[in-house]
Homo-oligomer: A and B are copies of this chain.
Amino acid sequence: MAFKENKKLPHFEEYIPHLAYDSVIFGFNGRQIKILLLEYHNTGLFALPGGFVKRNEHLDDAVKRGLKGRTGLDNIYLEQFHTFGDTTRAAPEVMRTIIEANKMEIEEGNWLLDRFISVAYYALINYDDVHPIPDELSDSINWYAIDELPSLMMDHEKIVEKALKTLRENLDKKLTGTNLLPPKFTMKDLQHLYEAILGEELRRTTFQRKMLGTNILMRHEKLFGGGAHKAPYLYSFKTIGDG
């Protein structure tokens, strides 16, 4: 959750009650998949970056607004993957802890203490392009490796799990159009990306055969440097219109 507006609590009149979004922002650094997490001031609570939807705002625009506010990034690949509507999501004590740790007050019956349904999105971005911007209420926003996440508040671990499951399905299609790799990359670079997302090591020969079979890659010149016969080919993702 985010309370950026003037360091005041978001007001009921401005937002759709009971509705939130959460975003799972995957970053890749060439070796590891990481996720962007907020840590709330003096609470030890870690959370996915999320927020609320304004009364006259498209749901997708609310998520883009939140993401831009925290990463400075525009126009990134955002996909809605699931809406979490469990009744056990109501967590007034968590909200109260966060607000009180920030020396603000919240009255009984405030809409922020209600049950929230959360629409979850994921994004896949290049780790190096992002300079996280701390939230007004959070003392840190940082990248965490997916295999070394701290405990997350509420059902946020479940949300990350579902995001990862969704990302791993149809991975070939999902990587095209992202900037997780440079425009031209080697088969080894691509394998590292797959291994990081799938969380397992892959056999080089099998991987190469499979990828060349998907028809999503275009082959270019060899990588400059080293002995010519050893230099690996460079590839790029095909875009629409490529043969």
CB-nearest residue of chain B to A18: B16
Main SS at interface, chain A: mixed
- The answer to whether A59 and B117 have CB atoms under 8 Å apart is yes
A82 to B60, CA, bound (A): 12
- Chain B residues, CB < 8 A from A203: none
- Chain B residues, CB < 8 A from A82: 80
A169 to B59, CA, bound (A): 24
Q: In this assembly, does A83 line the interface, its C-beta being within 8 Å of a C-beta of chain B?
A: yes
Q: Which of A50-58, A97-105, A233-241 lies at the interface with chain B?
A: A50-58
Q: Which residues 43-94 in A have Cβ within 8 Å of B in the complex?
A: 53, 55-60, 80, 82-83, 85-87
A80 to B85, CA, bound (A): 11
How many chain A residues have a CB neighbour from B under 8 Å?
22
CB-nearest residue of chain B to A88: B58
Q: In this assembly, does A115 line the interface, its C-beta being within 8 Å of a C-beta of chain B?
A: yes
Q: Separation in Å of the A79 CB from the closest CB of chain B? A: 10
**Cβ-defined partner of A86 (8 Å) among B19, B55, B58, B85:** B58
Q: Which residues 1-53 in A have Cβ within 8 Å of B in the complex?
A: 16-19, 53
- The answer to whether A85 and B60 have CB atoms under 8 Å apart is yes
Q: In this assembly, does A160 line the interface, its C-beta being within 8 Å of a C-beta of chain B?
A: no
Q: Separation in Å of the A50 CB from the closest CB of chain B? A: 14
9 closest Cβ contacts across the A-B interface?
A59-B85, A83-B83, A83-B119, A16-B18, A58-B87, A58-B86, A56-B87, A58-B85, A17-B17
A-B contact pairs, 24 of them (CB 8 A): A16-B18, A16-B117, A17-B17, A18-B18, A18-B19, A19-B19, A19-B117, A53-B85, A53-B117, A55-B115, A57-B87, A58-B85, A58-B87, A59-B83, A59-B85, A59-B86, A59-B117, A60-B85, A80-B82, A80-B83, A83-B83, A83-B119, A85-B119, A117-B119
